[in-house]
Amino acid sequence: MIDLSPDRLASETAPHRRHFPALTQKVGDRPLVYLDTAATALRPEEVIEAGCRFCRRHDANPHRGLYTLSTEATEAYESTRRQIATWINAPSPASVVFTRNATYALNLVARGLEHQFSPGDEILLTEMEHHANLVPWITLTKRIGLRLRYIPIDESGRLVLTDLPSLITPKTKVVSFAMVSNVLGTINPVSAICSQAQKVGALTVVDAAQAVGHIPFDFEALGVDFAAFSAHKCYGPTGLGVLVGKADALERLEPLETGGDMIEYVDYESATWAPVPERFEAGTPNAAAAVSFSEAIAFMRSLGPKTLRAHDVALTTYALEALSTLPDIRILGPMAPESRTGLVSFVDARVHPHDLATILDGEGVAIRAGHHCAQPLHRRLGIAASCRASFGIYTEPKDIDALIHGIEAARKVFAT
């Protein structure tokens, strides 16, 4: 049972907040209230310091030099890979591919599989996808005549799985879907979808960008072929994403980029590829980011998945209740906090999302306003844009109070 008293929540959050230097700043003359963790989580001091330390000491190319610095850089980079594998229970370190971000990881899957598709093959997505898990497939569809199909959502923002047996057919080659919606917050039933997909031999891909760091994530237990996520959404640096894959699934992918570090043997006429995962990591990697992310993982592991999840649920409960007290607010997604992660999107019938975000910014409150890279979902919901407040381990009840206060202030400005 979660104790929802704001005082209790605030006192539990206080020690976490001390890790985040960004929280000490002011926006104009107001203390920063950061409610956009679903876009980018703030970084703990340890994470920032680890990146800096690498730059000061080991700033050399991993995998290249024979000298000490390069060897240290290689070890630092590869140890993060091993750490990730342990953390998310990946089959092996080799099943962890470093990318620029989750978007690149999803592109790598879609385009890396292109040579395996034939016209008429079907890809199954959902109506709640982020553009990152939509546009790569749309692009493929145009090139090779694939058919995209979609698992629909219901009015509460949950996937409707009753038609799944008719949506997944022998023509289905890939089922790719968000583990958590970045707009609705809905946690999707991964295993129910995967078991259906496996019956027809379709590959399964989860966009786990909104899941990792929020809900327990165990790659092997999920039973998917691929998962993608970004470091910067779970207290790590920008510029680093991860594609995790089963060994045989990764072997089916063609590399997206070629060049240094991804080869085995090159002559003037031909080249052979390095093994997985180096095959997918052409060029000098973002070693400083990887080293930095290592500290983010340590930070999340020190808190533990239960604490991360409980904090999300408590804040979401508090936010849903607070927003529900305001008239003319439409909350998107399921109303049960346990069905969602720490983000709440809403539409204020009285104030346009962009006007609301601007006025909130004047109060020091940072929220997201727009379509959150999910235009089709917004159209499906009958709206052009929405506001989104999202939470991290540093979010406290008074941040939500500031949001509510800001909404009330905006309403006064726009009252007719």
Partner 1 sequence: MNFNELYRDVILDHHKHPRGNAPLASSNADSSGLNPTCGDDVTVRFLIEDESVRDVQVTGHGCAISTAASSMFAEKAKGLRIDELKILTERVRTLLKTGEVPPDLEFGDLEALAGVSRFPIRVKCAMLPIATAEQAIEGFEQRRAKAVTVTTEESP
* Distance of closest approach, residue 384 Cβ to partner 1, in angstroms: 3
* Distance of closest approach, residue 183 Cβ to partner 1, in angstroms: 13
Is residue 414 part of the contact set for partner 1 (CB under 8 A)? yes
Kindly indicate which of the ranges 109-117, 173-181, 263-271, 346-354 contains the residues binding partner 1, using the contact rule CB under 8 A.
Answer: 346-354
* Per-residue buried b or exposed e for 379-392, using 16+ beta carbons within 10 Å of the residue's own CB: eebeeebbbbbbbb
Choosing from 211, 369, 393, 403, the residue that interacts with partner 1 (CB under 8 A) is 369
**The one catalytic residue among 52, 194, 234, 373:** 373
Is residue 35 part of the contact set for partner 1 (CB under 8 A)? no
| Separate counts of helices (H) and strands (E) for the chain | 14, 17
Burial of 29 (0-12, 13-18, 19+ CB in 10 A): exposed
DSSP letters, 298-334, are: HHHHHH-HHHHHHHHHHHHHHHHHHHHTSTTEEE-S-
Burial of 100 (0-12, 13-18, 19+ CB in 10 A): middle
Query: What element of type H or E holds 50?
Result: helix 45-57
Provide the token pair at 296: 């983010």
Is 373 tagged catalytic?
Answer: yes
* Per-residue buried b or exposed e for 150-177, using 16+ beta carbons within 10 Å of the residue's own CB: bbebeeebbbeeeebeebbeebbbbbbb
Is residue 355 part of the contact set for partner 1 (CB under 8 A)? yes
Rank residues 216 and 376 by Cβ distance to partner 1 and give the closer one.
376
Is residue 32 part of the contact set for partner 1 (CB under 8 A)? no
Is residue 361 part of the contact set for partner 1 (CB under 8 A)? yes
Is residue 90 part of the contact set for partner 1 (CB under 8 A)? no
Binding mask 184-223 for partner 1 (x = CB under 8 A): ----------------------------------------
Choosing from 16, 158, 378, 388, the residue that interacts with partner 1 (CB under 8 A) is 378
Q: Would you please indicate which residues are annotated as catalytic (active-site) residues? A: 373
Chain contacts with partner 1 (rule: CB under 8 A): 28, 352-355, 358-359, 361-362, 369-371, 375, 378, 383-385, 413-414, 416
